[in-house]
Each structure stands twice: as C-alpha cells, then as structure tokens.
Amino acid sequence: MIITEKKPLQEIIDSLKEKSKIFLVGCGECATTCKTGGEEELAVIKQELEAQGKSVVGMCIPKSPCVASQTKTELAKNMKQLHEADAILVLACGLGVQSVKDNDRLSKEVIPALNTMFGAVMDAAGNFLEKCSLCGECVLDETGGICPITLCPKGLLNGPCGGMNKGKCEADKDKDCAWVLIYKELEKTKSLYKMKKAHPAKDFKKQTKPHKLIMTK
C-alpha cells in the first residue's frame, strides 16, 4: 500500500493559481484506505476549493488510478466535465497523478493534492507500517523476515552497529535495534547460522530509476 498525506490547503491553492474550474480525481484503494483520496476526502476538498472561489466541475474515483485502463474508463465517463475544467486535481499517490496525466486525452494540467510518503503494510489495529524499501535485493529469507534495509536507519546488512545499546537503536533510542530483532527471530527458528553469512554491499545499479517491467505474451 502506498501511504499519502494531504498537502497544506494553501499549497494546493497556490498550485491552482489562475485555474478556476477544477476536476477532481480520487483513488479507490490506497488513498481511500488511508483517508486521503476517498469519497469523503473529495467532498471536503470540494468545499475547501469552493470557499476559495473555485468551481469543481466534476469528480471520479478510479478503483486503482495507477492502472491505465481504469483511469481511462473513469475519465471517459466524465469527458463533458473534463472539457470544462482548467485543471485536474488528483488525490492519489504520485503514481496515480502520473497515470492520470498519461491517460488524459485533453492534455489538461494535472496537479497533485497529496504528498507520497512510503509503501506500507497495515497491521491489525489499522496502523500503517513501512516494512520494505523496494531495494531490488531481498534478504528476508536470511534475516527472519525482518528487513534491515528499512528498519535499520543505517541500512546495515551485517549485524548491528557499535552504537546499539541494550537492544535499542543508536539513532532512535525508543526503537529496538533491527539486528537484535533479527537475532531473536532467527533464534526462535533455530536459524542463527544465517548470521554467519557476510552480505556484500548493495548493488545500487538495481535502484537506478526509472524502473520498468515489460510484460510479454
């Protein structure tokens, strides 16, 4: 899940400078779940924009705006309103914003209303927790399912740093050291032998952006 937060209203208004008629696009998955781009949030931003003298000419919420076919379908359903709009304001992550831009046949200005924060899992209490850094070299099979790249502020691959103290992180003393957590997890599964393996430095070529995956039939 991609976690987003709403930009300050004044920043959004500044982005819409000289734009009076606005079309809104939300997100039916991630942004709806973290309450930044669902029906309620679109209703709120509509009121806020209208209070600033803007006119909201229409809105839609693709289930997954990052999926081109879904975005195209929703935009096509609202073509009349899109023709009226001066700009499209998107309440979705950066992927959704760029998908809207790529699939808008009218070449309207597309503006983000949210900041994209991080990828996360949701726990049983409904909290969003960053667990993966999308590094392209997964080591979870060797670290007890705990990612040291993400949970260790230094991204250490071969055990804790010298600053670890009583199981706590040097950079944040309120957090458990990631490698202490890894040790305990490996101990539970009788897999401590995995701690002996020395991991080479990360291959940062795998993080060269932008990535792409070409699907073949």
| pLDDT 10s digits, 201-215 | 887 777 677 767 677
Average confidence (pLDDT) over 111-130: 93
Domain limits for position 43: 2-119
**Same structural domain, 78 and 144:** no
pLDDT at 217: 65
Question: pLDDT by residue (tens digit) across 143-157?
Answer: 999 999 999 999 999
pLDDT at 44: 98
CA-only gyration radius of the chain, Å: 22
**Same structural domain, 167 and 112:** no
**Whole-number Å distance between alpha carbons of 153 and 39:** 36
Q: Which residues contact 160 (CB under 8 A, 6 or more apart)?
A: 177, 178, 179, 180
Tokens of 45: 């931003």
**Same structural domain, 86 and 31:** yes
**Same structural domain, 64 and 171:** no
Let me know if residue 19 belongs to a domain.
Answer: yes
**Same structural domain, 170 and 113:** no
pLDDT, mean over the chain: 93
Let me know if residue 125 belongs to a domain.
Answer: no
**Same structural domain, 114 and 148:** no
Number of domains, the chain = 2
By C-alpha distance, which of 65, 109, 206 is closest to 149? Answer: 206
* Confidence (pTM): 0.86
Average confidence (pLDDT) over 101-111: 95
Q: Provide the CB-side half-sphere exposure for 7 (13 A, CA).
A: 20
Q: How confident is the model at residue 54 (pLDDT cuts 50, 70, 90)?
A: very high
Average confidence (pLDDT) over 58-71: 96
**Same structural domain, 113 and 140:** no
